[in-house]
Amino acid sequence: MTWKKFSGEILNSPIMEEVEQTIEREYLMGNKLKVCIGTDSQVKGKITDFATVIVFLREKKGAFMYIHQERSALKMSIKERMLSEVQKSIDCAYSLCNLLDLYDVDLEVHADINTNPSFKSNAALHEAMGYILSMGFVFKAKPEAFASSYCANKMVQ
């Protein structure tokens, strides 16, 4: 799985190593971190582009992110696509949670799902929220889910 920085620079080491090095570097600089993970997608013809982001928030000192992009040719309903986004975020969060716990870094999983029932994505809200919370993660939906609805969104446009 290929991850890159916002600049487009491809990470040479596995994401787990990169995250650990990042945490250690940020802590040496005196920064307190929180990690937010989110995924967004966009349908372009018969292809769906997905972007998953790991956003590192430095308390009162900005943020940066790592990005993974992939494509799918599977035809999905809006609900399937929303739950696929959530699955990608959970997979990423689950792979990092022990490491983040070790360094006492708070973690949130963001879903690009609207809490307003008049939006189509709302059809997946209860399943997504239940899935994320049952995995033991903090759940955020729109408008608080900036990792998915803003950061990842910029990577699939």
pLDDT digits (tens, 9 = 90+) for 38-73: 999 999 999 999 999 999 999 999 999 999 999 999
Domain that holds residue 111: 4-156
* Helix or strand holding residue 78 (H, E): helix 78-102
99 burial via Cβ count (<10 Å: 0-12, 13-18, 19+): middle
Q: Which helix (H) or strand (E) holds 96?
A: helix 78-102
Closest among 61, 49, 57 to 152, alpha carbons compared: 49
Does 97 have pLDDT greater than 90? yes
Q: How far apart are the first and last CA of the chain?
A: 21
Q: Output the domain CATH number for residue 10.
A: 3.30.420
How many C-beta neighbours within 10 Å does residue 130 have? 11
Rounded to the nearest integer, the mean pLDDT of the chain is 95
Q: What is the pTM of this model?
A: 0.94
Res. 138 pLDDT band, cuts 50 70 90: very high
- The count of domains in the chain is 1
pLDDT band at 157 (very low <50, low <70, confident <90, very high): confident
What proportion of the chain, given as a percentage, has pLDDT over 70? 100
pLDDT of residue 1: 80
